[in-house]
Amino acid sequence: MTDDTRAGFVALIGEPNAGKSTLLNRMVGAKVSIVTHKVQTTRARIRGVMQHGASQLVFVDTPGLFAPRRRLDRAMVAAAWTGAGDADVVVLLIEAHRGLTPGVQAILDVLAERVGRAKVALAINKIDKVKSERLLELTAKMNAAYPFAETFMISAERGHGLDALKDWLAGQVPEGAWLYPDDQIADAPLRQIAAEITREKLTLRLHQELPYQLTVETENWEDRPDGSARIDQLIYVVRDGHKGIVLGNKGETIKAVGQSARAEIEDLIGRKAHLFLQVKVRANWLDDKERYSEMGLDFTDGDG
């Protein structure tokens, strides 16, 4: 599989909530990255794998690029730029209705030095939210600000414009053998994807700062003789008060989260799952090196 095939890494970058996780899931054809209406929910560089013709595209869904305040923020931003620097092709995603924001300008200011020799494409997302004249103005403004190799107008949520983006990306990655088996859709272990699914359900049900002060780990995964899987997960929070919020009145919140997460995990693995959730207080998990390793982040990147 080397004469005619191509394979390479495609980094999706942009501000938080630009639609990177939605685009990744659409491209791969399965849910490998969590999607919420809250910003900064992607923490690790999630890799999704898809085949398009003779090309294999390995997508790196990076954390959103923003002005970091805490150690976790700094590690997330560092992971995003590392993902972009390691890629063969970079796609900058921006929201059509927000346009060239200060945050996007901050990305453009350092983009050339961060991406090395990788080709950079612009994907203007959520095009259904603005009129065509405004899209043309935004395209001209963005291409005047940076020499993009190509510009695509898409709706990641609806799937509009993605065929053209796939075709272009498939022709940009280097010639060579595929990097993953043709039936693999992600390089993250199932236990990590399962933990991310539970964290997504928690993020959707909770509010304010709490979602960013909790993490989920799959402590045990046992494949049973009957074909089902027993999955034990730990939810770490930083304060006793947060534990009560996650549990909810008479355990209603944790029960609802567990039911929703279990259903999605079963869809993912194609068999029955028994999900057991436990909440633990670990005040310093945001400064715990092991937790960063579990999330695929470099603890030292949070220094500074």
Q: Domain map of the chain by residue range?
A: 6-172, 190-302
- The whole-number pLDDT of residue 138 equals 95
pLDDT of residue 131: 92
CA–CA gap between residue 150 and residue 169 (Å, rounded): 10
Q: What is the pLDDT of residue 39?
A: 43
Confidence (pLDDT) at 58: 87
pLDDT of residue 247: 92
Span 6-172 CATH architecture:
3-Layer(aba) Sandwich (3.40)
For 190-302, give the CATH class. alpha beta
Integer CA distances (angstroms), 224 to 220, 228, 272, 274, in order: 12, 5, 10, 10
pLDDT at 122: 97
Backbone angles phi, psi at 248, to 5 degrees: 80, 175
Q: Along the 304 residues of the chain, how does pLDDT read in single tens digits? A: 446 899 988 888 888 788 888 898 899 887 666 555 444 444 555 678 889 999 999 887 665 555 455 666 566 656 655 666 678 899 999 999 999 999 899 889 888 887 888 899 999 999 999 998 999 999 999 999 999 999 999 999 999 999 999 999 999 999 999 988 887 776 667 788 888 889 889 988 886 546 567 888 899 999 999 999 999 999 998 888 889 889 999 999 999 999 999 998 998 888 999 999 999 998 876 666 766 666 566 656 555 5
85, β-bridge pairs: none
